[in-house]
């Protein structure tokens, strides 16, 4: 109304005439009520009529001779103009990203789930943001990124179930799922800069147009009346119309581009991130990919525009989800959706990792992975990949134990690994956070300590390994270890020889894990043994040792 008052007098007069003429048929209609046992004309008048309308007027309008007798099953007609009208605030169902509202020039404020929105408020969405709004009749609107919407009318006709919703899309795009109209006064209207879309129960999308392109209305279910002062178009399922200007009638109807054919195995989507792919659609210049809740498709969890036929879905909240892919024409008209439902689980929870540690460097091509036990997990799945999104895992193994060693050697390089629990029904929960790991082919340095000789004995010690590891030590005269002088497995990181040899010996050590996996031998080290008499003096003597 404020904008109307700013117009010249002649234009305002013409606009008021058009407004009154368009409203006259609506106000002249009747809403019909079927009488139930126990109803009285006085109670019904108090329940549905404005205070200024007397019950005698309702009696006269319906030609009721005896107001004390209302036959059950008979119908009463209530003129729409007589019905009570109350404000019907909308409610914010979901918010994704930065969304703000503003009322009558007041400072913008952040919008949160559960907020009530009233007549005159405007909604603004930022980059990669969306908001879902629920109206009084459970109709729903999803406002997409970089959009602006004004709530022009939010009212209900008392307890009749009829709702009057009128919105103005100033910028961006909106998707709508409108509840079928409940009575003659129910309306759902979206004004865009170049055309108005009116419905009484359907699923459709509206764009305000940008970059020189006019508004567009795309109908997925039902019918939508699209028009401006130059003419009207009735758009039905699978059709669209574009409105380049207020000074031109909406364009001829055009068929929406067909839904793309998805080529990704649905099972792959259960583990996110996941690569999504589809076949190209002729005449498409791009594609729109969305992930919504399967039971509430107006709640947007992820959205991306792309000019390719593949995209990576990121990690998303758990639940029953649906991915939607649609083609986009050169005129920026979006086509029919290809949809695929999938489920993201967060139960059973992932185990806590024990080893390898975050970022650890390991010189074994088959390291041992360990984790804690999860009470409701029957198995644990290990994944190893080169990329942190695990789009192409190099290895996936499962076990009932709390440890696992890869079934194949890992080449030297950088990796990431993660684990997930699987319950007794085979349902896999969410994976743990990826942990970096480096595999090196450098052999273990056991940090061999200087040998000790005393009382006719030679003692060798080296760095202890991890808990549960054993050790294999070899001594050799020539250094090729073809026929070692000593080859022994030990529980402790040391060995004592009672009658050592004389001369130069070669020593190497191998670490053996508790599951029997033997790592590579350490670099060979040399020990220069002194004469035999050096062992018998009773005092300790240090021997010469060299790293080869």
- 295, 326, 344 - which closes a domain: 344
- Please check whether residue 234 lies inside any domain of the structure: yes
- Please check whether residue 63 lies inside any domain of the structure: yes
Residue 534 has pLDDT above 70, yes or no: no
Q: Are residues 249 and 338 in the same domain?
A: no
198-208 average pLDDT score: 93
Identify the band that residue 28 occupies on the pLDDT scale cut at 50, 70 and 90.
low
The total domain count for the chain is 5
Identify the band that residue 467 occupies on the pLDDT scale cut at 50, 70 and 90.
confident
Closest-CA residue to 284 (of 227, 242, 333): 333
Identify the band that residue 212 occupies on the pLDDT scale cut at 50, 70 and 90.
low
Residue 185 has pLDDT above 80, yes or no: yes
Any idea what DSSP says for residue 359? Answer: T
- Please check whether residue 447 lies inside any domain of the structure: no
Residues near 66 by beta carbon (within 8 Å), at least 6 away in sequence: none
Identify the band that residue 526 occupies on the pLDDT scale cut at 50, 70 and 90.
confident
Token look-up 């103009």 returns: 81
Mean pLDDT over each residue of the chain, to the nearest integer: 88
- For the domain that residue 527 is a member of, what is the CATH number? 2.60.40.10
Residues near 357 by beta carbon (within 8 Å), at least 6 away in sequence: none
Q: Are residues 129 and 164 in the same domain?
A: yes
- For the domain that residue 41 is a member of, what is the CATH number? 3.10.350.10
- Please check whether residue 445 lies inside any domain of the structure: no
Q: Are residues 189 and 303 in the same domain?
A: no
Residue 307 has pLDDT above 80, yes or no: yes
Q: Are residues 119 and 192 in the same domain?
A: yes
523-527 average pLDDT score: 87
Identify the band that residue 531 occupies on the pLDDT scale cut at 50, 70 and 90.
low
Q: Which domain holds residue 327?
A: 266-344
* Percentage above 90 pLDDT, the chain: 68
d(CA 87, CA 163) in angstroms, rounded, equals: 10
Any idea what DSSP says for residue 61? Answer: H
- Please check whether residue 211 lies inside any domain of the structure: yes
- Residues, the chain, total? 548
- For the domain that residue 210 is a member of, what is the CATH number? 2.60.120.1440
Whole-prediction pTM: 0.76
Q: Are residues 515 and 367 in the same domain?
A: no
Pick the residue with more confidence: 542 or 234? 234
Instruction: Quick: pLDDT tens for 368-398.
Output: 999 999 998 999 999 999 999 898 899 999 9
Residue 460 has pLDDT above 80, yes or no: yes
* Percentage above 70 pLDDT, the chain: 90
Q: Are residues 467 and 540 in the same domain?
A: yes
Q: Are residues 243 and 339 in the same domain?
A: no
**pLDDT attached to residue 209:** 79
The answer to whether 194 touches 174, Cβ cutoff 8 Å, is no
Q: Are residues 168 and 22 in the same domain?
A: no
Q: Are residues 472 and 524 in the same domain?
A: yes
**pLDDT attached to residue 445:** 72
156-174 average pLDDT score: 95
Q: Are residues 96 and 175 in the same domain?
A: yes
- 300, 317, 344 - which closes a domain: 344
**pLDDT attached to residue 211:** 63
**CA angle (6, 10, 195) in 5-degree steps:** 65
- Please check whether residue 260 lies inside any domain of the structure: no
Sheet containing strand 353-355, edge to edge, reads 353-355, 369-371, 403-404
- Which of 68-82, 108-122, 280-294, 442-456 is predicted with the least confidence, judged by mean pLDDT? 442-456
Q: Are residues 366 and 298 in the same domain?
A: no
Q: Are residues 14 and 146 in the same domain?
A: no
Distance separating the N- and C-terminal Cα atoms of the chain: 92
- Please check whether residue 12 lies inside any domain of the structure: yes
**pLDDT attached to residue 545:** 47
**pLDDT attached to residue 542:** 45
The answer to whether 191 touches 166, Cβ cutoff 8 Å, is yes
Residue 20 has pLDDT above 50, yes or no: no
Residue 52 has pLDDT above 60, yes or no: yes
d(CA 3, CA 254) in angstroms, rounded, equals: 33
Residues near 192 by beta carbon (within 8 Å), at least 6 away in sequence: 168, 169, 206, 207, 208, 209, 215, 243
């Amino acid at each position: 109304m404020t904008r109307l008052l700013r117009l010249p007098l002649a234009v305002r007069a013409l606009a008021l005439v058009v407004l009154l003429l368009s409203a006259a048929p609506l106000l002249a209609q009747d809403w019909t009520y079927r009488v139930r046992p126990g109803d009285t004309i006085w109670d019904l008048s108090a329940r549905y009529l404005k205070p200024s309308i007397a019950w005698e007027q309702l009696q006269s309008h319906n030609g009721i001779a005896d107001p004390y007798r209302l036959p059950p099953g008979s119908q009463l007609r209530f003129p729409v103009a007589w019905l009570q009208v109350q404000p019907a605030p909308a409610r914010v169902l979901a918010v994704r990203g930065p969304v703000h509202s503003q009322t009558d020039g007041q400072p913008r404020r952040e919008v949160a789930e559960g907020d009530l929105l009233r007549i005159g408020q405007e909604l603004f969405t930022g980059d990669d943001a969306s908001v879902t709004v629920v109206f009084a009749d459970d109709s729903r609107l999803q406002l997409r990124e970089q959009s602006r919407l004004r709530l022009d009318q939010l009212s209900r006709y008392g307890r009749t179930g009829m709702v009057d919703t009128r919105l103005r899309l100033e910028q961006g795009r909106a998707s709508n799922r409108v509840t079928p109209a409940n009575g003659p006064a129910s309306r759902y209207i979206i004004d865009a800069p170049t055309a108005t879309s009116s419905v009484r129960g359907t699923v459709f999308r509206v764009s305000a147009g940008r970059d020189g392109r006019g508004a567009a209305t795309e109908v997925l279910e039902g019918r939508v009346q699209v028009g401006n002062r130059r003419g009207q178009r009735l758009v039905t399922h699978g059709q669209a119309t574009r409105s380049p200007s207020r000074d031109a009638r909406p364009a001829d109807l055009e068929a929406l581009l067909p839904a793309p054919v998805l080529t990704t195995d649905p099972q792959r989507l259960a583990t996110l991130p996941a690569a999504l792919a589809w076949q190209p659609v002729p005449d498409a210049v791009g594609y729109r990919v969305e992930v919504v809740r399967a039971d509430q498709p107006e709640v947007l969890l992820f959205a991306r525009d792309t000019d390719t036929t593949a995209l990576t879905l990121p990690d998303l909240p758990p639940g029953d989800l649906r991915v939607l892919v649609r083609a986009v024409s050169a005129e920026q008209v979006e086509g029919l959706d290809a949809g695929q439902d999938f489920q993201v689980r967060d139960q059973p929870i992932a185990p806590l990792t024990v080893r390898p540690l975050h970022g650890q460097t390991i010189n074994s091509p088959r390291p041992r992975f360990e984790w804690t036990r999860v009470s409701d997990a029957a198995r644990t799945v290990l994944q190893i990949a080169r990329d942190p999104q695990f789009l192409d895992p190099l290895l996936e193994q499962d076990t009932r134990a709390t440890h696992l060693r890869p079934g194949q050697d890992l080449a030297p390089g950088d990796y990431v690994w993660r684990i997930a629990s699987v319950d007794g029904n085979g349902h896999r929960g969410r994976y743990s956070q990826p942990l970096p790991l480096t595999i090196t082919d450098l052999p273990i340095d056991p940090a061999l300590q200087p040998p000790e000789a005393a009382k006719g004995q030679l003692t060798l010690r080296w760095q202890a390994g991890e808990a549960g590891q054993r050790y294999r030590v070899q001594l050799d005269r020539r250094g090729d270890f073809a026929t070692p002088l000593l080859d022994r497995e030990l529980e402790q990181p040391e060995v004592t020889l009672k009658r050592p040899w004389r001369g130069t010996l070669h020593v190497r050590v191998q670490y053996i894990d508790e599951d029997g996996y033997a790592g590579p031998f350490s670099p060979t080290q040399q020990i220069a043994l002194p004469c035999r008499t050096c062992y018998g003096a009773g005092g300790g003597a240090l021997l010469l040792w060299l790293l080869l």
